[in-house]
Structure 1
Amino acid sequence: MSGKDVAVVVLLIVGFASFVTTHVWLAGRLILRGSSRLRGMLALVVPPLAPVWGYRQGFRKGAALWVVALVTYVTARVVAFFA
């Protein structure tokens, strides 16, 4: 395994783990502190709703972190596909 392969695997693992963690955290925050618990539960099942509703509820940093984690994971997937 070359250094590039190791870097891609690390990016895949870190990207996916941070995405899942951020998603669950944001949905949980919507459930606990949002105006509607139903939205939080729905955001847990339908991932694109979590950052949208989180941003609207004032969880802007969490929504931005969700997007950054997703972009990191997708970028690593594309690099792994073409490597």
Structure 2
Amino acid sequence: MSGKDVAVVALLILGFASFVTTHVWLAARLILRGSSRLRGALAFFVPPLAPIWGYRQGFRKGAVLWVAALLTYVAARVVAQFA
């Protein structure tokens, strides 16, 4: 494997791990501190709802991190597809 391949694989792993971790953290925060526990539970199983409801509940940093982690993973997938 070349250095580029190693970098792409590392970015894939980092992006996916960051996305999953941020998603679980944001959904748990919605369950524990949000106005509706049902929304937090639903956001856990329907991922796009987590940053939307998190942002509305005032968890702006978590919502931005969620989107950034997802974009990192998607960018790594695109690079891996064409590399």
Q: Structure 2 length normalisation: TM-score?
A: 0.99
Q: CA RMSD in A?
A: 0.2
Aligned ranges 1:2-81 → 2 under 5 Å = 2-81=2-81
Superposed structure 1 runs of 4+ greater than 4 Å apart:
none
Aligned-residue identity in percent = 86
Q: 1:9-65 CA deviation, whole Å, 9 max, x = no partner?
A: 000000000000000000000000000000000000000000000000000000000
- 2:5 aligns to what SS in structure 1? helix
**Distance apart, 1:78 and its partner CA:** 0.5
Give, in whole Å, the separation in 2 of the partners of 1:63 and 1:32: 16
CA distance in 2, matches of 1:79, 1:46: 26
Please state whether the residue corresponding to 1:54 is helix, strand or coil: helix
**May I ask how many residue pairs the two structures share in their alignment?**
83
Unpaired runs of 5+ in structure 2?
Answer: none
Q: Name the CA distance, whole Å, in 2 between partners of 1:78 and 1:41.
A: 31
**Amino acid aligned to 2:71:** V
Tell me the amino acid that sits aligned with residue 44 of structure 1: F
